[in-house]
Chains A and B, each alone.
Chain A
Amino acid sequence: MNGLKNDAISEIVDGKRVIVKKPELLAPAGTLEKLKIAVRYGADAVYIGGQEYGLRSNAGNFTFEEMKEGVEFAKKYGAKVYVTTNIFAHNENIDGLEDYLRGVGEAGVTGIIVADPLIIETCRRVAPHVEVHLSTQQSLSNWRAVKYWKEEGLDRVVLARETTGEEMRLMKEKVDIEIETFIHGAMCIAYSGRCVLSNHMTARDSNRGGCCQSCRWDYNLVELEDGVESPITKESDSPFAMSPKDLRLLQSIPGLIELGIDSLKIEGRMKSIHYVATVVSVYRKVIDAYCADPENFTIKDEWLEELEKCANRPAAPAFFAGTPGADEQLFGVHGKKASHDFAGLVVDYEEDTQMVTLQQRNFFRPGDKVEFFGPNMDTFTQVVGTVVDEDGNELDAARHPLQIVRFKVDRPVSKDDMMRKGL
């Protein structure tokens, strides 16, 4: 996909091609804290869940008050907020929907992400200024369905994870509508919306936020011949599994930009602020570097290494270049440990003493080699010296989650920078 220049998104400035249509970098924000981090680390937009009608019933979802605060914070950085409202509703969910959508509209969000036409139409009626984006739950995977939703007046569509780059190209050619697609994070192995494993196995409705990820479990494969069952999975074999590797399209960002894709989406409202900060800052750099100088752009190893620092599973490009093979699934393993732990969040820095004040997020002690990273600095490594608590008492280690500790650092840092520790 790379190397196909799209003149509609670029201009020649001083003899050099630059990209003028930069895609939006869209990040998950499970809580207000995560929203602020995502925006500070470079997201152009974030998506959040409200108290109802979203698909993560376990996420720290936003009240209307928090939504308002989030919108105001994002606005200062020129960033937008979308609210996932993408359940497939049952009759019992109809009551209360109008009030809920009015509340979302009044909170000032830019748009909602929706799967069910009930919610699309209700939003139009009660909160007409709110943009409506079609959720990936609709498994949108062809240009004629894209055209259908365009004619229905939707502002944007999020494609099925099963869509290839070539398919996106035709959609863009045939229909003038904003297209959003996933670039990073955990994936459904099923077509989204077309899986009710949780309903059957745990009596939890997957399409209303109850998914218990039964697709990540192990099974044995059995063959049935004339009423007799014989195991295909032998004792010594790895069990049958269908757990997909996580999506990572870092290398395909130039291709996605040249396709004119409007929004590049990172999965993970349940992930930590460390994850959100790391992934957002890497993709921010990639998008900015490519748009500034596409001709001389190369993928840097350090970007890939950076993503490994917070990766929970091995990664793969999934459907972007065609149907993924067996090597894009996890057999015999359930994930991997990230190469780094999130060790602390910077709450303050004193320039004259060079002392950082940190909120502890994982165990560390004097002598540990750590690194600091942030949205406005180059990452640097640091050996931890004497650590003291809030009252100045020297500590043998920072043992307690959220404990406030201080030590001296070689280079300046600022609030909301993060400290991580290699494993």
Chain B
Amino acid sequence: MNEKTIAAAKADAPKADDAGRIISVAILAVGGQGGGVLTDWIVSVAEANGYRAQSTSVAGVAQRTGATIYYVEMCKDTGRQPVFSLSPAQGDVDVLIAAELMEAGRSVMRGFVTPDRTTLITSSHRIAAVSEKIAPGDGRGSSDAVLDTARKAAKTLIAFDMERMAVAAGSVISSSLFGALAGSGVLPFSRESYEETIRASGRGVAASLRAFGAAYDRTVAGAEPATAEAEPDVRGTDEVAGAQGSPALLFGWQELVSRTRALPRPAHDMALAGLRKVVDYQDLAYGAEYLAGLERAVALDDEGHDHALSITAAKYLANALCYDDIVRVADLKTRASRSARVRREVGVDGETVLRVTEYFHPRIEEVCGTLPAGLGAFIEARPGLSRWLDARLNKGRRIRTDGLFGFTLLWGLAGLKRWRRRLLRHRVESAHVGTWYDLALETAPADYALAVEILACRRLIKGYSDTHARGLSKYDRVIGALPMLEGRQDAADWLRRLREAALKDEKGTALDGALQTVASFAMPESGAA
């Protein structure tokens, strides 16, 4: 993805006879990424090639997991000591190495990357900052936006996932960054001298050289496209191959799949994904219920709107039907595929002794939800009894699913699936889903876009326990704004804004603000009163 070719970068590289020229290299990293090692390597390779070099850093507490910067200057050794600068300056950096994509963005913002001069070498992987992680929705910055600006700001941009490359080679990112630097040809040193530097450093040499070589080759080849890690396509286009089971089950599945084919083409993929989820969650009959619900939306839909209503319904109806209850969690945690995934993530084979502990904390609400509807409702109607039971039930339970007792317990709970439709939680959820879905479909004839947004508000309901309750209350508050919006041209737009505000923070402060805005224009009379 080298925007301008490596050959061009090489042509611009300082020449050997460019004796008095100082070359500056700045390294931006997240504390703990090993920027110090890379800095030492760069100094070593420069010195080995007859250069004088100076490096500086800002070690200290300010570095702990925060953004940090290292700096190297070098100049061909003429026998005289050059005066090097101790820190990078705007417009005065030849090579900027960023060990994470947003740090590349930061270096551009700080003016260290300029189109007349700077070769920007960055890993395209992301390490999310705390502020990005704590949003209840998706709080992450856009990698594409950052790459796009970086490309404009740099003379040459070299960007690919150097972290993954390093881990694959059993090394750390400093090795692959060093490889990309060598491959870029921006410093007048041979590949061999870089490699010799790694060898001389003495630790984990083989793995470092592997990562170095992979990044070097990749930089020189400059082959792959320049997007941030692309989102792969939806899988499962071959519907039946994705499912295994008895002939009877497969026959039923095929029947349902063929019903999705009758849906408008643009809704196929989402409907199939939804169907898969619902059948996996419960059974074929539940899948049929899902399709019946979906077909109601399709009946109201038309091509004029690109089938947005159908697609949105396909997505959120599936999610709504698959509410998270104890049975589902127990089911997911006892599957063979799950055991395999845990071992894959930990990086051990099937033979290794692996102890797996699950963290559960059921409250009376969850227990009641898992009881037959009548019994559950009976208990919930009696606060004293509920409290008494909760005091006995409500505590953390650590369950060993590698052990027979723990596994069998969860396996048994997962078996309750058969009776799920009779449990209290199902009654509650079905009623809620029904109200929401009816509301959306009833709105559709009058305001199609608003109906789509109502469907999408289902996104707000997620999580367990308090988190679930908080999501539900946000949903209620957003939907509660509908009377203020109905009939307005921009009703859909406002509902979307409310939903987005609700996903911004945990307490709903942004949502409160947005609701006040809506109230101010929707009810000017009461506002004036």
| A complexed with B | no
